[in-house]
Structure 1
Amino acid sequence: MDLRALKTFEACVRHGHFLKAAEELQYAPSTVTLQIQRLEADLGVSLFVRDGKRVIVTEAGRWLYHEAAALLKSVGAIRQTVSDIAEGDNGSVRFAAIEPIASQKLAAIIARYCKVRPKVELTMEVGGSRSIAERVRAGELDFGICSSPPSKLMLEFEPLIEETLGVMLNWNHPLAERESIKASDFAGQTVLVKEPTCVYRELWESAIDGTGHNPFSCMEVGSFFVIQQMVKAELGIGIVPIYSGLEQEGSLVIRPLADLNPAVTIGIAYQDKNYLGKAALLLMEEIRSISCEPHSSMPSA
């Protein structure tokens, strides 16, 4: 059996006439007759009883019609899904991003993407740069938004934005009145930092260790949101990337580091574009738009 013969058979039964089926399928009447004869020969049964110009479906034909109609509907759905996947309107995308770019830059992009392509099954995870790069290499993620991966992972990397570290302060903190913070200003402060595997923690330590100024205490906190809440509660000051979205009017401000200027490039890491589906490629294209946006707006003193 081939699908063309089944489609012809289904049309013949539905119309109750070979000629009408031929007109719908845009076949010559002889082609319809030949396909039905071959289908009957293949199955070894008669599917129609000829009565002059009329055709009457046999019992075997009635059963086959029911199955063929379901099969053709399924095949049609398969064709449509495959076509949608090729166009990027269906399929699945799994990626991960570091914070705070995930919430501050990507959330709105993902929301727009999902509205335009509701059939795409999208999974977005949040993690650290190291683990994201390793999972992209292992094939567990289509791509990742992270810092530049180690060369040994042999991943492609497209830079998006350069992030600079700043100091998150409660409005009531004496340092909040300054336009920028110096390394010497950390003396006697409780500094809230991310975990050791975080790229921002590594960036902070490499910058502050080079100054020789570290007469302060550090508290390790695994979430920028928690750091934000602790600073709001006046527990200490936080080391965070400079995003205006992390500030809270009348409550929190972020000041740049005057003499350290630690910066890191964040971009898209992936193995090979040829391995990626169209839906993933389209999402990557949407994410590239953030490189054209203003990264942050510094508050005035």
Structure 2
Amino acid sequence: MEIRHLKLIREVAETKSLTKAKDALFLSQSALSHQLKEIENQLGTQLFHRVNKQLILTNAGKMVLESAERILSDLEKTERSIKKYVSGTSGTLRLATQCYTCYHWLPSLMTDFNREFPNVEIEIFHSNDSDVESRVLDGEIDLAIIYEHSDRQNIDYHELFRDEVFALVPVGHPWAKKSYVQAEDFEDQTVIIHSYPLESVSLFTQVLIPEGISPKKVMQVQVTEAVVELVKAGMGVNVMAKWIVEPYLKDNKLALIPVTKRGIHRTWHAITLKDENRPQYIDNFIHHLRCNIGGLCCCQN
């Protein structure tokens, strides 16, 4: 049986007439008669009795109708859901960031976004720096926020903003009185980073590696709050964006110093899979990211 057969059985059962059913199904009466004969031959039984010029379901016809109503209802529900998904009125947005330990920008963004799309759920996924683009390509996540990318062919890169990262030290640190620090200043320091490899860390790629400088020690810590506490305790220095550390500056125990006279700057992008049928809410979420530029960015590297 095919979907057209199920629609035929449902419509004829309701109207009790091929003549009336043809208008709803946009087919001629002869075409409907042919389809009905086709399905009855396939099943090997009659589905309707003719009683006083009306078509009345047989017991076999009632069994087919029961299945038809269930199947067609599921299909129609799926069709409505897909249309809502494509139009962007409902769905799920799976989000990841190249650095995933700080989301204090998300609640205010979600408040604005949910006013427009109250039926869109946002799910946050853990993602290592090295695999975030691959996960977009594999369809595991819908949108990622990154500051490094490889210009892959099947990914759309939506530029969001630029930021600057600063050296974070306790207020009593010798650097706190400097107008800026240079590559050689890191040579005798323990540098706390978010993740390896070093080639993915802005401090190393833009400053230390070009100058041939290696810190005394490199420590990986992936939780922002832990990084801040280690810096406060004098156990290392870190380089992070100014916006991310601002909530921790209230107790006046930390200081921010530019790194080199020109500074370290990064360009952030939202990335999505190239898809002409991308739900509208994804593009609107990207718009909200740009509108929240003052509090958006996700990494201390």
Q: TM > 0.5 between the two?
A: yes
**RMSD between aligned residues:** 4.5
Shift of 1:224: 2.8
Q: How many residues align?
A: 288
Mark the runs of 5 or more structure 2 residues left unpaired by the alignment.
297-301
Q: Compared with structure 1, are the counterparts of its residues 12 and 137 closer, same or farther at alpha carbon in structure 2 (3 Å cutoff)?
A: closer
Give deviations 1:109-138, integer Å, cap 9, x for gaps.
Answer: 46765782646685633321x432354466
Q: Which residue of 1 aligns with 2:195?
A: 195
| Equivalent-residue separation in structure 2 for 1:194 and 1:126 (angstroms) | 13
Shift of 1:288: 4.1
Letter in 1 for 2:221: V
1:111-260 alignment runs, 5 A limit: 116=117, 118=119, 122=123, 124-128=125-129, 130-136=130-136, 142-150=142-150, 153-154=152-153, 156-170=156-170, 173=172, 181-183=180-182, 190-197=190-197, 201-204=201-204, 206-208=206-208, 218-244=218-244, 246-248=246-248, 249-250=250-251, 253=254, 255-257=256-258, 259-260=260-261
Letter in 2 for 1:182: V
Letter in 2 for 1:262: I
Q: Which residue of 2 aligns with 1:98?
A: 98
Give deviations 1:13-55, integer Å, cap 9, x for gaps.
Answer: 346x439x93996579x84x97367414531333233332555
Letter in 2 for 1:273: K
Letter in 2 for 1:266: W
Q: Compared with structure 1, are the counterparts of its residues 109 and 292 closer, same or farther at alpha carbon in structure 2 (3 Å cutoff)?
A: closer
Q: Which residue of 2 aligns with 1:48?
A: 48
Q: Which residue of 2 aligns with 1:290?
A: 289
Cα contact 1:169–1:254 (8 A) shared by 2:
yes
Shift of 1:173: 3.4
| Equivalent-residue separation in structure 2 for 1:47 and 1:230 (angstroms) | 78
Whether 1:262 aligns to 2:264 is yes
Whether 1:273 aligns to 2:274 is yes
1:4-23 alignment runs, 5 A limit: 4=4, 6-14=6-14, 17-18=16-17, 22=20
Cα contact 1:243–1:296 (8 A) shared by 2:
yes
| Equivalent-residue separation in structure 2 for 1:25 and 1:119 (angstroms) | 38
Q: Compared with structure 1, are the counterparts of its residues 252 and 287 closer, same or farther at alpha carbon in structure 2 (3 Å cutoff)?
A: farther
Q: Compared with structure 1, are the counterparts of its residues 135 and 38 closer, same or farther at alpha carbon in structure 2 (3 Å cutoff)?
A: closer
| Equivalent-residue separation in structure 1 for 2:64 and 2:278 (angstroms) | 38
Cα contact 1:98–1:126 (8 A) shared by 2:
yes
Mark the runs of 5 or more structure 1 residues left unpaired by the alignment.
none
Q: Which secondary structure state, in structure 1, belongs to the residue aligned with residue 251 of structure 2?
A: coil
| Equivalent-residue separation in structure 1 for 2:32 and 2:22 (angstroms) | 15
Give deviations 1:90-117, integer Å, cap 9, x for gaps.
Answer: 5665553122696244565467657826
Shift of 1:257: 0.8
Letter in 2 for 1:224: T
Q: Which residue of 1 aligns with 2:67?
A: 67
Once structures 1 and 2 are overlaid, which stretch shifts more, 287-296 or 74-83?
A: 287-296
Q: Compared with structure 1, are the counterparts of its residues 76 and 215 closer, same or farther at alpha carbon in structure 2 (3 Å cutoff)?
A: closer
Give deviations 1:60-106, integer Å, cap 9, x for gaps.
Answer: 12211211111221221232233233223456655531226962445
Q: Compared with structure 1, are the counterparts of its residues 85 and 292 closer, same or farther at alpha carbon in structure 2 (3 Å cutoff)?
A: closer
Q: Compared with structure 1, are the counterparts of its residues 132 and 176 closer, same or farther at alpha carbon in structure 2 (3 Å cutoff)?
A: same
Identity of aligned residues (%): 17
| Equivalent-residue separation in structure 2 for 1:179 and 1:292 (angstroms) | 34
| Equivalent-residue separation in structure 2 for 1:278 and 1:56 (angstroms) | 46
Per the normalisation by structure 1, the TM-score is 0.70
Per the normalisation by structure 2, the TM-score is 0.70
| Equivalent-residue separation in structure 1 for 2:193 and 2:56 (angstroms) | 81
| Equivalent-residue separation in structure 2 for 1:254 and 1:210 (angstroms) | 26
